[in-house]
Amino acid sequence: MQPSRSQRVVPAPGQESVWDYPRPPRVEASDERIVVTLGGQTIVDTTDSVRVLETSHPPVYYLPREAFAPGVLSDAAGSSFCEFKGAARYLSVTGGGQSAVGAAWFYPSPSKGYEALAGRVAVYPAEMDSCTVDGETVVSQDGDFYGGWITSRVVGPFKGAPGTLGW
């Protein structure tokens, strides 16, 4: 069930509503500065990312694998399947002596239309010390499955919290 019109937050100038994002999701390039830290270590700092924008979800940022500091990514158990993007595999992230098991994912062979995700990795912001977009600290999307990045640029309500599964 979609939220009622009264629940949908109307975006202010310069904001986006996740209810205006498409389904199937859109992939778009971004030159925003993305900085991710774990264990007090900057593990990635890049202006080369792509955002996946899907109805009711905050954007997920996919970062070039080669932009991550050497040795911070390692294979983790598990996989999942997205009806749009294809089969995902998981990675553990290590930084500053701290490890976050299964805290990142990638699509080894993205489905047609999502080729821009090849060679890119997304991280769950809740598992990192911090993730920033152009200097703004990200709030993680509720729930333990979706990896959306909430900034002041996007408004919801957002899927992921209890009771939103059917949206």
Domain CATH number, residue 121: 2.170.150.40
- 4 inside domain: no
- 161 inside domain: no
pLDDT higher than 90, residue 145: no
- Domain count along the chain: 1
pLDDT higher than 60, residue 64: yes
pLDDT higher than 80, residue 144: no
Percentage of residues in the chain having pLDDT higher than 90? 86
Range of the domain at 96: 16-150
pLDDT higher than 70, residue 2: no
State pLDDT tens for residues 19-32: 999 999 999 999 99
- 40 inside domain: yes
pLDDT higher than 70, residue 5: no
pLDDT higher than 80, residue 133: yes
Task: Note the pLDDT of residue 161.
Answer: 83
> What is the arithmetic mean of pLDDT over 8-37?
96
- 134 inside domain: yes
- 85 inside domain: yes
- 5 inside domain: no
Residue, of 3 and 84, whose pLDDT is higher: 84
Bond preceding residue 24 cis, omega within 30 of 0:
yes
